[in-house]
Structure 1
Amino acid sequence: MSSVIKNGRVYWLVQKQESEALLFAVDEQVVSDVERRLVDLVLSTKKEPEPKPARMPTEEERKAGLVRDWLHQQQERGFTQAEMPDQLVSLLSLYSTKVPILLYGDYTTSRRVHYAELKKLLDSFFDAEITLIPLTEKEWLILGSEKILTMDGSDDRISDEESLEDKLAAMGYGLHEMLENEWVGEAHLAVHYPMTPAKSLYSVVLQLRETIMLGRTYHVGSSMHLPWELQLEKLVHLVPEAEKASFLERVLKRLDVAFDPETMTTLEQFFQLDCNVSETAKKLYIHRNTLLYRLDKFKQETGLDVRTFNNAVLVKIAMLLYKVTKRK
């Protein structure tokens, strides 16, 4: 790469990219012929950095991609139920019962999570082989054997006393805590009951997506979403928008007064603790009489006493509707 002398200045081409060029220039008098040739030599030996070779997917990742493509095809056709072809089932040995988990990584678009990176992290956490299927750029389906529900090695007798829902929730919360500490960005998880992928993988994926959607819609601060805890939310979500607004008007005429932040927090804790006054007061770190005052105040403003079953149900539904309507 030789230099060029023009109008008393020496020019070197340092870099060229498409229609743009980067030049280096000095006055001809300040550089000797030897120095000029030395710069020519240095620039001539300068090499452009070689592009990194494209990452080749592993055989396991390739097989998982085939399952992903099949799931996408069923969705594009508008199906709600579909059995997997035998050749796909055998590829990833999906005949046995699996515990399905849907992971949605709420990371930035500049952050790309690679299959091998996430697979290694999950294998280490469960201390067992799991099946990982990338559904979208941010969405991952995890399939583990039923052994992952007892991975803590707890006493079988104690474990038997737990419900299946308790075991699934404990596993899900443990996984979410690990992802929070080890992963980049916020992660949302949904867990489903054990199932046979060959028969119901597609419908379960749809249900898991619905579970995350309901959880993110009605419980904004939550990142762990369990379908058995979102039954009422699922029902309410099916109500037409006009009916939602009409219900709120009938039940709570002044929403801004009824659902101020303090009241919302109080009622959410009250319902979460099965309308137990003493436990709610402890949870909120307030005196029992302070809680009773807040409940009485709400009754005066709305005419609804949440200490009675019927009124508690009405207010619970109204709170769910209010959360989604106020954001629109």
Structure 2
Amino acid sequence: MISNQILQSTIDGLKGITKRDITVMDVEGSVLATTEDIDIGSQVPTVPDLIHSKAESMLIQGYQYFKVFDEHTVEYVVSIKGEDEDVYKVGKITAFQIQNLLVAYKERFDKDNFIKNLLLDNMLLVDIYTRAKKLHIENNINRIVFLIESNNDRDTNSSVMDIIRSLFPAKTRDFITAVDENNIILVKDVSEDSQRGVMEKTAKSIVDTLSSEAMGRVRVALGSVVNDLKDISRSYKEAKMALEVGKIFYEDKLIINYNRLGIGRLIYQLPLSLCKMYIDEIFKDIKVGDFDEETLNTINKFFENSLNVSETSRQLYIHRNTLVYRLDKLQKNTGLDIRTFEDAITFKIALMVAKYMNYMEKSGY
């Protein structure tokens, strides 16, 4: 069904060309859009007479009425005041225009359903290629899934969808849809250039545009490039995983690429029982929650600066000896000297594992 806003915009444009007032009603005679001084929602009692007749158009009380068909079913009725030949032509043109809109919207709706079912793995393999052929969707071209997360309300997310569509207009190989209230999915044709850097530039343009439009904080996750329609669901699952891993380990990143998850991907796939065993082995009776904020900040900054004592002390605005004292104290409590590469790796992984366990616990797993 075409939105009333689109119907109104269509007849406003036609009135600008033809200088004729046009009204569009549903099959019960309720006014959906009009250029006349008529209330939207008001009833036109003559419409049922036309619906029940076999005629495609009818002249009633100075108005010409025209049926608009969706295949063989009447979907709308158009009315224009006047009895001359020009009014008849305008009516036929209006009915033809709306009928074409119905076809276009139905095709878009069918494609949207197809892509959703494809993403969610709701289709048999044979059905994928059969339906794709009917919908004129090409198969063997490179595509990638972008998952755009927005934690705004439903109305704002609708605006986000419109902005995404405006960023990728008139691309018959691109598809934009949503499978829940918070996430918008862009299935993008990358047949021209599937290099990783190009894909991340596209993701950055999405983040920058939505930020400039005051849509709040958004995160964009990328799956892998796939070459077959049946594999789009895999790219979607990868993007979902990337988004989840990003929330746990890379909170400050707004763009998360599945192919750049690093050790976060490995930890995310570990069973919690194995994670607990590792934490108990490394920290014994110490809990990560026992470390105060100053200690954790010192550790993280030390890792950021590649175990460089001088640079870390400079960025923390503390004396070098103060930093050495803190690191010595950490070694005494944990048995790990993070100034050495091996202990630093062990400690870094342990912190990430603890973070993962805490996230999973809060998520109810």
Scaled to the shorter chain, the TM-score interval is 0.5 to 0.7
Task: Give the number of equivalent residue pairs.
Answer: 261
**1:297 alignment counterpart:** 329
Per-residue deviation, residues 208-250 of structure 1 (Å, max 9, x unmatched): 1111111113334443222233232222223332332232222
Query: 1:61·1:115 contact (CA, 8 Å) conserved in 2?
Result: no
- The CA deviation string for residues 26-70 of structure 1, in whole angstroms up to 9 with x for no partner, is xxxxxxxxxxxxxxxxxxxxx98639xxx9883435412222123
Matched, 1:107 2:160: no
1:14 corresponds to which residue? none
User: Structure 2: which 5+ residue stretches go unaligned?
Assistant: 1-37, 43-100
Aligned mate of 1:322, from 342, 345, 354? 354
Question: Corresponding residue for 2:243?
Answer: 212
How many angstroms apart in 2 are the aligned matches of 1:292 and 1:128? 60
Which residue of the partner structure matches residue 140 of structure 2?
Answer: 95
The C-alpha deviation readout for 1:272-323, integer Å capped at 9, x for no partner, is 4443445545555555555444333322221111222221221112111222
Match of 1:243 among 247, 263, 274: 274
SS at match of 1:113: helix
1:203 Cα deviation (Å)? Answer: 1.1
Instruction: Give the 3-state SS of the residue equivalent to 1:85 in structure 2.
Output: helix
1-structure distance, mates of 2:192, 2:213: 19
Alpha-carbon RMSD: 3.9
Question: Given residue 178 of structure 2, which amino acid in structure 1 is its aligned partner?
Answer: P
**Normalising by structure 1, what TM-score?**
0.63
| Deviation per residue, 1:107-160 (Å, 9 max, x gap) | 134644168613434227x9998432333332222233448979xxxxxxxxxx
- More relative contact order in 1 or in 2 (CA 8 Å, sep 6+)? 1
Instruction: Write the letter of the residue equivalent to 1:65.
Output: N
Aligned residue number for residue 234 of structure 1:
265
CA distance in 2, matches of 1:83, 1:270: 55
1:68 corresponds, among 100, 116, 120, to 116
Quick one: distance in 1 between partners of 2:173 and 2:183? 19
The answer on whether the counterparts of 2:121 and 2:233 sit within 8 Å (CA) in structure 1 is no
- The residue type equivalent to 2:297 in the other structure is T
Q: Is the 8 A contact 2:224 2:259 kept in 1?
A: no
Contact 1:215 1:222 survives alignment (8 Å): yes
Structure 1 contact 97–194 (Cα < 8 Å) conserved? yes
**Are the counterparts in 2 of residues 115 and 134 from structure 1 also a CA contact under 8 Å?**
no
Do residues 189 (structure 1) and 220 (structure 2) align?
Answer: yes
Q: Which residue is equivalent to 1:42? A: none
**2:313 equivalent to 1:265:** no
Q: Residue 134 of structure 1 corresponds to which residue in structure 2? A: 178
Residues 206, 193 of structure 1: alpha-carbon distance in 2 compared, 3 angstrom cutoff: closer
Task: Determine the structure 2 residue equivalent to 1:224.
Answer: 255
Q: Report the AA paired with residue 74 of structure 1.
A: N
- Normalized against structure 2, the TM-score is what? 0.58
CA distance in structure 2 between the partners assigned to 1:297 and 1:171 by the alignment: 46
Report Cα offsets for 1:12-34 as digits up to 9, x if no partner: xxxxxxxxxxxxxxxxxxxxxxx
Task: State the match for 2:9 in structure 1.
Answer: none
Contact 1:148 1:171 (C-alpha < 8 Å) held by counterparts: no
**Structure 1 residue 50 corresponds to structure 2 residue 41:** yes
Contact 2:146 2:220 in 1 (8 A): yes
Distance 1:175 1:148 in 2: 19
Q: Tell me if 1:200 matches 2:231.
A: yes
SS of 1:275's partner is coil
CA contact (8 A) 1:63 1:91 kept: no
